[in-house]
Amino acid sequence: MANARDILIRPYITEKSTALMAADKYTFIVPLKSNKVEIRQAVEEVFKVKVLAINTIRVPGKTKRMGKTAGKRPDYKKAIVKLAPGERIEFFEGV
């Protein structure tokens, strides 16, 4: 397994992900090649919490145009992590 800090690239903060925090679900951007076992171990190691479930979503990058030149944003993977009741990640509390 890679370093736990390499697995969790950054938190994914949107209105929808903020609403999920009420249900003890936290969203992270993770590498495309990471799997659920690696993500679970990384979250438990970094934040010292108990993970119940993980859902992953592979999001394809959008095609963007600048005049006649077309480009593509990179693909990315989101992981929605469900924590045990009573567990919290303090990193998100200010959001």
Whether 13 and 70 have beta carbons less than 8 Å apart is answered as no
- Kindly give the pairing relationship between strand 63-66 and strand 51-59: unpaired
Structure confidence at residue 4 (pLDDT) = 85
Q: Express each pLDDT in 7-60 by its tens digit.
A: 999 999 999 999 999 899 999 999 999 999 999 999 999 999 999 999 999 999
- CATH number of the domain located at residue range(s) 4-63+70-84 in this protein: 3.30.70.330
Contact 31, 42 (CB under 8 A): no
Q: Mind listing the pLDDT tens digit for each residue in 57-82?
A: 999 999 999 999 999 999 999 999 99
Contact 78, 86 (CB under 8 A): no
CA angle centred on 27, ends 92 and 13, rounded to 5°: 60
Of residues 1 and 66, the one with the higher pLDDT is 66
| The pLDDT value given to residue 73 | 95
Q: Is the pLDDT of residue 95 over 80?
A: no
Instruction: Give the pLDDT band of residue 1 (cuts 50, 70, 90).
Output: low
What pTM was estimated for this model as a whole?
Answer: 0.87
Q: Is the Cβ–Cβ distance between 60 and 91 less than 8 Å? A: no
